Chain A
């Protein structure tokens, strides 16, 4: 009986992604052969002029990779054939720049279209931009640098006075033995950032790294190492995107965060990889006494994701907060969640996640909370809510808890729901179209994360949701 509009009804996801989905012909000056061999790892190491220990580390990691079984407990990744992945693509620029005008035009245009230089001018203390395997731009505002804050790429830092500090921390939180893709990362890592905030320094405005994968069939393996010393504060933002190709791309990055005594680190990510991406990323934070890590995570892109940022609460009274939203649309299987290890007295963790699935998308939330017998008086609260937008989508919640002390306060809550017809009707009764009403309900559902993000990222997140909701009725 109802007359419905038919324009905009067709599913046009790949066209509508135009903000992210543009590409330039690859003009890389250098790319290694497909696949993974000792020869390739040596080539990458050569290309990067690694110190000897790093070269040995890469080769050792490769051995571990070859010995380690493929993961078999999560979404199917058999579509990922390592023999077809190019692990290193150097863009056509011979070095990293601190001035956008020196960055090659096509690369600069890419970041302009993504709004990075503008964000840098308006609201960031420093920016790093990675294109395929290498950082093409890195700059930090003078006032931040003068406080002793280091924000640079890892490779060049390996040849400076920071070398020892890097060696002391590099892949100590996420060792190559952790899982197969951690080993792969150890062998072929390239790019990423090294951040050091000295004791007592509070960086008032955020630093941001943006990762862009332009080359088809390539992998991106950036390593982010952040050390926030005693009593210091930092907000670090990471963004990622890629245009869509018909071949599989792989992202196996690694993030290691060291939060010192009484320090606070906020780590925000809006991930919007294209839907041919295998996003097998490992992130981990170690938090000392009275320190705090705050994870804010938005996962929108990729074909398959395995993503479980972990907080190791190593010192008394250390705290972790984890806030995330995951949106799985057509053809996406996003397996996300978090892990917390309470390993000292009076530590606390607070986890609040939202996941949305639509058009056959699969969204799985996994959490693991371990409270060791050393963690008396600890508290943990885990809450996950899922929203399924239709009957063909799927949402699962898999919480695990391992509590080794009787003196702990642990809570878990999970809810799975659908968009309420009553709310849609209410909004429509005020003149809103059905599509807008549903989009509003979904952004409202994701608002716990939106509220935690800086305004321009919250706007970007809401735009991503609107994009996903467009034409979804019918």
Chain B
């Protein structure tokens, strides 16, 4: 590939930089059904997007569209065709022809001029801002293509997005360094030590197989016991039953083994002593968090690891399947009343929030954002393009990020910008854990900048900043504000 590159390709690409053209026009106005579908997929609970009466009483004065949907409305969806008159379409065509056939989004910098409302008809213009030199990236050899889309309703701009994609040649990624490749221990969970099941503890492991976390409970007096006992120490009964735990708990203590290392674990291992809300404790693992996230007392919620698969067609374990309870940082409830700027300080931490990545979320998110690029819904095509599975599209990531920050800031925080950089892909069956902190606060104007990241098992999927206006500063509008225009 490197040898076949002639420098004139870069020159030909660069010829389009600085050109602009009309991009897309929405066929339908901003509408509540699409907003509701989006909120369903993203699990966005802010009522100003869906509940007319709440929205009417809010600072927005009526239903508004989630700001992260800004660049969804004008997308052509499944009918997308590349427009060769558009400078971006032209360079993409050139790059495809030169073998750089794979595409990933790497940056999105969304600026919100005003919130969109049902009835707005959006169209966009595109300016090609930059095409990079050929670069060797982890994914492969390619070029970064940077465009700015400006969104308009009628003649009035309502927002813009700076959008950067990497067009790369599949199969040209950087080989892992020698150390990375030489894994001495196999971390597959099936290699973990199996629990031994006997008549005293069978209720627990039977429950685990159906993803029920069972706590032994005396049928006589209701006393809970862990580890189990054949006889209730409280009332003396031998009639021992169980209750299914809610799955809510806190981190009572933890240990982080580094050595010795054995198969089945990814070191260092986060081992938790979890205190369940029912009162008993158990040892488990913390997943979807990093070592530095662990704090005694942090809220946790149950999830499951099907560690030892059943024997099927000669593969698996003849002793039967095993599932292990695991815990991740508990998603905190959405804030009902919006934060005041006076409540904030630099460095103020946002709560951790784990987001399970399911195929449903990946596919649903892509389709909800009118993104029919095959690698977001078709695993065969994704694999053919050099990916291990389908992966989340950037618009879903933006929606999840908006939800995370707004769940913390409150329903009437007003968004100004959402700038993200994408890294490791979000593949199904992983968990992305969001974390964040207040990077800066402008108290007079009420403007807060939040730095956030979403990490999965491969590293940082997303990092970036969000800027919002909070009540208590001069930039926050008087309510209600049917125009939606914030005061600058």
Answer yes or no: are A and B bound together in one complex.
no
Interface residues of A (CB under 8 A from B): none
Give me the interface of B with A, judged by CB distance under 8 Å: none
